[in-house]
Chains A and B, each alone.
Chain A
Amino acid sequence: MMRAVRSLGGGLGAVLRAPILVAAVVAVTLAAAIPFGVVLGARLQDGLANQPPIALGSGEIDADWWAEFRAHAGGLAATFTPTVIGFAAPLDNLSAMLDGSRRPRALAGPVLLTGLIWAWLWGAILHRFNIGRSLSVREFFSAAFAHAPRFVLVSATAALVQLALYFTVHAALFGPIYDALASNTGSERTAFFVRVGLYLVFGSLLVLVSLAADYTRVGLVVTGPLAIRDAFATGVGFIRRHLWTVLALYLMTGMLFVGLLVLYGTGEIYGGSRVGGWRGVVIGQAYIVARLVIRLTFAASELLLFKSLRGQPS
């Protein structure tokens, strides 16, 4: 437990000492999303220019205009729903992930591109935390490209396993099993807690696969070039030997994320219109940056934990 705490603290320190890395990751992930935003923005400006508002004198995008726009929208524009606004966005994404909601096909492009970008970024990020000093631009790109092929393979394998879990375990848990359990509950509250219980069961499987991918990547960076099968065995072996410490670190980092969500949600609910409009956009981007910091902290902590439990100097 103490090792997990120390690793988390060390990881957070490592991220705070690497502001340029954080800025680079923020810039790269934003740059990856911007082309899709430009496509959506152009469609939206077209719509606003050519479609009259339903309510006269309304300066805002009203709900009926939104419905009208969506009725004629396709591709990425069809994903422009009110749920993109403010705190509804993370709620929607988290809920869709746990409920296994089908997403429009148009999102496959952004998700795939981001998966590839992260597979590329992880090489440089983990290398930076492994050597414990700043990287030159050349070193950054060199590390990123050196690890990219293996990391793409790791991510692709994990994605396939996760998909298989969704099509089998998730389908069973939230199909017949949930239906049977919920129909026997007398109250909505009980049904909700049944669902939360099933989220925990399914979520733990997702977490295990995700951790296996994480520690395989960490193993590849720390122990040097390995065959992908050996790296996977190293990662999974590490998790099995130190399961509780690994899980404790995961849970602590998860609590940071939950804390961030609570902060964002509470701020929006009690802030009301004061956190809407442009201020809401800025707060939203601040949330994304905080989320990236937590993700980087987790990666750095995993690496520190891996090294410390294997007796390697950090």
Chain B
Amino acid sequence: MAGIGGGAARPLLYYTRAVWSRRVQRALVRMIVVALASVAVAARQAPEVVPSAVAALAMGLTLRQEFYKREVIPAIPPVELRFLLKPGPEDQAQRLVDSTRAALRRLSEWYGAFPFAQLTVIDAPWHSPWVGASYPGTVVTSTRWMSLERDASVERTLIGAIARQYWFGVIPADPARGWFEEGLVQYSGARAIDAELKGRHYWSARYFGGFMPFAIRSLPLSPAAPDARPSLRRFDELQRPVDAPWRRWVGRDGNEAERTATALVSLERYIGWPAMQQGLEAYRERFRAGTGTPGGLATVLSEQRGRDLSWFFAEAFRFPARFDYGIEHFSSVPEGSRYRTEVKLRRFGDAVFAGTVEPREASRARSLEVSIRFEDGTDVREWWDGRDPAVDLDYLSASPAILASVDPDAMLLLDADTSNNRRTLRRGVHVNGVRETLSWLMWLQDLVLTYSALV
């Protein structure tokens, strides 16, 4: 009985199954590709309308899901975390889990509750174009096969993508205003990266086709310096690729988004982090209906501080106006038994750091600090009303002046050319400069040895 239908029928059955199977597979693949293409288009045009699970599916297409972790962290309100991780060492997965929890906790402390009920973290393949993507409820990063503890690129990507989550739905989906949201995202991302990774991430690069990492221990990216302000304001992981589909603003000449981020760092240095943090938290709360504008942030911060800050926003976001305050002339020459010191300060750019909304005739603002240091150690501090295009300072002193500096505490990071901010009359040799020159010399010797070995 077992032989009935055997012989010719069995191969036919196998053939039919195989053909059917291939046809069905092809049809299914075609359907999935079409569906994912639609999702990708939708994600590009209006990311907030794409359900996170579908977006995750779209971006995780090539992901070989091996590890699925679901946990709830005690944020307010609770956020359910889901991790779609590719095969790899457990410690790498744990780095992602820990970083996600820490970033959520910190960002929620700063800016208020996480805006979604759940967050899906996708560990995409290393060459995925979606690394760094952030859509409502979904972020994408990529752990690497070769990784170093000191190279926190994966964490930076993840924290930057999570920071973006907090600004979804605050600013209208108006392409003309995308630069403000993008700048806000870059600023808050860099701020969170700096705070989260302080003292434990270093400058690093990947060599040999981008596979082999190497971190330079003598160059920490967020050093534990005496200055508590964030030291680095730009991270490649936040800005590259500039034309990524999840960005609200694609880099153009002058890059308004990058300037916005720098403007916000300058503002933070001007008003202080506590005021900035409270202002941003209140701004998110007030404009959660999606009506936020740069002017709205100016209003919130002005209300909180009791001083109108609209002068800052008017100039900082007037593109392509250029801030450039500097020293045109600095001299200190003997005059009798004393020294005459002349400092000519000049506003080279067309943007004005006014410090007040009042007219110039009404008051003199303390906008920018100027420091004159004398040989006997005296440090004279003056204020420059940033609305004045030029200021002349004149001193008669027992000791010659040796250094003049505009904005000595590097508050106005918007200054487009900081190389004219300091002038010195006693140029000493900067020991670190000599050391790094010798490092460069070694690099150059090695480079020419490498190339000359070929011929």
Chain A positions near chain B (C-beta within 8 angstroms): 29-30, 32-34, 36-37, 40-41, 44-64, 66-68, 72, 79-80, 82-95, 97-99, 103, 107, 110-111, 114-115, 118, 154-156, 158-159, 162, 174, 178, 182-183, 186-189, 191-192, 195, 199, 206, 209-210, 213, 272-273, 276-278, 280-281, 284-285, 287-288, 291-292, 295
Contact = CB atoms under 8 A, between A and B. Distances in A.
Contacts of B220: 63
A52 B408 contact: yes
Contact of A280 (B207, B221, B439): B439
Given A45-B429, A47-B419, A50-B423, A93 B443 contact: yes
Given A162-B454, A187-B145, A33 B448 contact: yes
Given A66-B219, A188-B127, A195-B209, 10 more contacts: A33-B441, A55-B225, A56-B229, A84-B442, A85-B436, A110-B447, A114-B452, A199-B208, A277-B435, A288-B445
B3 interface: no
Interface in B420-440: 420-424, 427, 429-430, 432-440
Q: Is the interface of A mostly helix, strand, loop or mixed?
A: helix
A83 B424 CA distance: 30
Nearest to B423: A50
A41 B437 contact: yes
B413 interface: yes
A94 B413 contact: no
Given A33-B448, A51-B421, A192-B145, A60 B410 contact: no
Interface in B373-405: 405
Interface of B: 64, 125-127, 144-146, 203, 205, 207-209, 211-212, 214, 216-221, 223, 225-227, 229, 231-234, 405, 407-410, 413, 417-424, 427, 429-430, 432-455
B424 A61 contact: no
B447 A44 contact: no
Contact of A45 (B405, B413, B433, B443): B433
A98 B126 CA distance: 21
A29 B453 CA distance: 13
Nearest to B327: A50
Contacts of A272: 217
Contacts of B221: 63
Contacts of A94: 207, 450
Contact of A88 (B216, B233, B441): B216
Given A51-B422, A55-B225, A57-B226, A110 B405 contact: no
A37 B444 contact: yes
Contact of B445 (A33, A44, A46, A88): A33
A52 B451 contact: no
A56 B371 CA distance: 15
Contacts of B127: 182-183, 188, 191
Contact of A89 (B229, B421, B430, B446): B446
A67 B234 CA distance: 9
Contacts of B455: 115, 154-156, 158-159, 162, 210, 213
